[in-house]
Amino acid sequence: MIGWVFFRAATLTSAAGFLSALFGARPVQTTPYTVSWYLTSELWLALIFGVVGSTPWVPTLASSIQRRQRPWVFATTEALSVAALIALLVVSIMQVAAGTYNPFIYFQF
């Protein structure tokens, strides 16, 4: 942990400040961020989709369609399910790629 402080700090003085706070030599400043700052509308939407997607409504729907013995509807449901998962994967990859910033790690050296 101590070694990573020197990679994080911009100067040797700020590294010494980090280390003194780490070992309790000076009081730690609290963060101004609260829980409501992290709970954005995008996160709520992801949580709702996660809860709905983790429930067994798709297998239940598929088994009820199979019981009615309509194979073409079952095949259509399977195809739509696969298409929805592929679309979700593509959107997730696009979101991750658009939201990342990876600066050159050794630029400050």
Give dist(CA 15, CA 9) in Å, integer: 5
Burial (CB < 10 A; 0-12, 13-18, 19+), residue 77, is: middle
Q: 104 falls in which pLDDT band (50, 70, 90)?
A: low
Q: 39 falls in which pLDDT band (50, 70, 90)?
A: confident
3-state class (DSSP) for residue 101: coil
Q: 74 falls in which pLDDT band (50, 70, 90)?
A: low
28's CB contacts (< 8 A; 6+ apart) are 21
pLDDT(26) > 70: yes
Give dist(CA 71, CA 9) in Å, integer: 63
pLDDT(15) > 80: yes
Q: 97 falls in which pLDDT band (50, 70, 90)?
A: confident
Integer-rounded Cα radius of gyration of the chain: 25
